Chains A and B, each alone.
Chain A
């Protein structure tokens, strides 16, 4: 139904008070992390109102899914979140497998977890690096990118590609790894822990950096829940919500790791610095998980027998997993006859994080807007899909 609203311009232009200026931030702006647009109404440096506008990267992935057989949709899930492709692969594969009742061999699950955790470190490195960049520190960003490069090398050995891996298959993974992969990963992890120490000395303990993030964009636990935050953003507000714990998939229930929760180490619980430090801690937890996986992984098949034509039973299901940007939910509806999904809806963490912006931007300074938005770690394709 088309209402009168539809005929208005893309974003409603509200009248401007005398002392305000309206400023258009994005879709092409260095700190909007892709094509996301804010319209800020400023009084001097202070934001009076803000409108967030998304959709510049809308590729209609959900519509595409309705016209593809289940396995052929797998590469599209890479493009939902290109920074953490394997996590998206995994979420989709788990959703379909649990509906179709497909078995996954043990080694394949371990390999999936290795891919997912490496990708999580990768994604968090981008997040903390980009946050550093947005508050003006260029060098830590490049250092983070340098470490990410090692991860991409590892992922290349693991999956064959550096990004958009398309690694997970229904009932397994696409390829096994060479034996020296584990040695290389071990070496990288040793190096990476040392790197994080260096990174902390350079950036995390920096007075200016702390001043920029502490008490900026405070979200209490209730607020964060209300805005449907998930993943590190929600944990930073003091809510210990980790789907690897609450709703374990793969072998995460066997893993020993702690869920880092923001506690306001320097300022108030739920400020931007908490969101930053939670990601740093999570990288260390991922390192722990990776070490455990590598001590437990055994030889074995990597692919189970799956039917040539996957037809899910009629009905609908919402399956979720913990991606680096929070809850990644796949709402899959099948009509029980076709080998194509009737509807796939992808719920992403970035989209939920975006909902808080217009509310939180009020009263911030322009520099805080940038810092707060960067601390949410939003990736544009995940918002728009």
Chain B
């Protein structure tokens, strides 16, 4: 009984937090998009428009919940909740800190992959039950896309699992360290590939540009959610932005050291003599920072790139990502057999990869300033306009 209450309370807290985060993310995304497009974005409700999402929520709830006459009403009604459930359940094993997690599952990654594919059912049902051909096309596209991209994502995860020797998120985080050289992303070439595979596949699974084919606005009007209105429509979007957090959190956990925020401080093994509460809070904040950095990257990609075509999307998955993933999984096994951890070669490779990453970032910064100079433009860094 106590367990049930515990479960219920924590689910509620998580649900509210996720809803709040997703809401704020809608606002953040619109502000960032505004910045990228020489606009201001919402800035009327609350300070700098921060309460815009609440206004949107109120508006959405007030709208009539229209169910088309020819729709299959029952499935039409439950589809958005199925989608939302799929996203929400993936949050369960993600460790935001040493103790800030719902359930320390031993099959954490496996569970996340399973729940992520659950979303497909919701989208498919939504598209089919709307009895609209555009929705049906959207639903079909989304099913094809998500099922395909499960595989590269799983292969990316597979490499991490081999590296850390566990499917438990806590142990995966503990297998990495706080400094970039300890992160899985820079550990060796194959984990770096794994990161790219997983990140790209996550974009595709989250219906984000350049893979937003299921809801391609200019082709399918709005895809599977064409016929939805009011609260049900909001639920689709809650799921979409909730999914951003999930992607960010997964990437942070598996490749960027999770919440480990100082050298030798592994997240689940508090350093002796440190206050566990302070440790927990700092770790949590560090984790959130990394997560939102990736959320920002995803948003940034969305407002930069065009959309792929469905056959190109499938090509990328089956002709490139899956073979690369398979080769890398073989490669990682060989690598781990021949090059033991913390040997000289391992250290050199780590350092090289890390510095390559740093150089990429610096080069990017140089490119940006060069282009700004060419176009005689200036960056307005102040986000409050």
Contacts and interface: CB of A to CB of B under 8 A. Distances in A.
Binding partners A and B: yes
Interface of A: 21, 23-24, 29-31, 42, 45, 132-139, 142-143, 146, 191, 194-195, 197-198, 201-203, 206, 208-209, 211-212, 365-368, 370
Interface of B: 33, 36-39, 133-134, 137, 209-210, 212-213, 216-221, 303-312, 371, 374-377
Given A30-B221, A208-B210, 11 more contacts: A24-B133, A45-B310, A133-B218, A136-B209, A208-B307, A208-B308, A212-B306, A212-B307, A212-B308, A212-B309, A367-B216
A138 B37 contact: yes
A195 B374 CA distance: 10
B301 to A, nearest CB: 11
A366 B371 contact: no
Contacts of A31: 218-219
A206 B375 contact: no
B37 A136 contact: no
Nearest to B132: A23
A139 B219 contact: no
A361 B79 CA distance: 34
B308 A23 contact: no
Given A138-B303, A142-B37, A208-B306, A198 B371 contact: yes
A134 B376 CA distance: 29
A136 B310 contact: no
* SS class, residues of chain A in contact with chain B: helix
Most chain B beta-carbon neighbours within 10 Å: one of A138, A139, A366: A138
30 contacts: A23-B134, A24-B133, A30-B218, A31-B219, A45-B311, A135-B306, A136-B209, A136-B216, A136-B305, A136-B307, A137-B306, A138-B33, A138-B303, A139-B33, A139-B36, A139-B303, A198-B374, A198-B375, A201-B371, A202-B304, A206-B305, A209-B306, A211-B309, A212-B307, A212-B309, A212-B312, A367-B213, A367-B309, A368-B309, A370-B218
A29 B226 CA distance: 12
Contacts of B308: 208, 211-212
Contacts of B33: 138-139
Contacts of B217: 30, 136
A23 B212 contact: no
A163 B137 CA distance: 38
B263 to A, nearest CB: 39
Contacts of B304: 137, 139, 202
A142 B309 CA distance: 22
Nearest to A132: B306
B373 to A, nearest CB: 11
Contacts of B303: 138-139
Nearest to A32: B218
A217 B37 CA distance: 30
Contacts of A201: 371
A32 to B, nearest CB: 10
A194 B306 contact: no
Contacts of A195: 375
Nearest to A28: B221
Contacts of B305: 136-137, 206, 208
A195 B371 CA distance: 11
Nearest to A22: B133
Contact of A29 (B37, B221, B375): B221
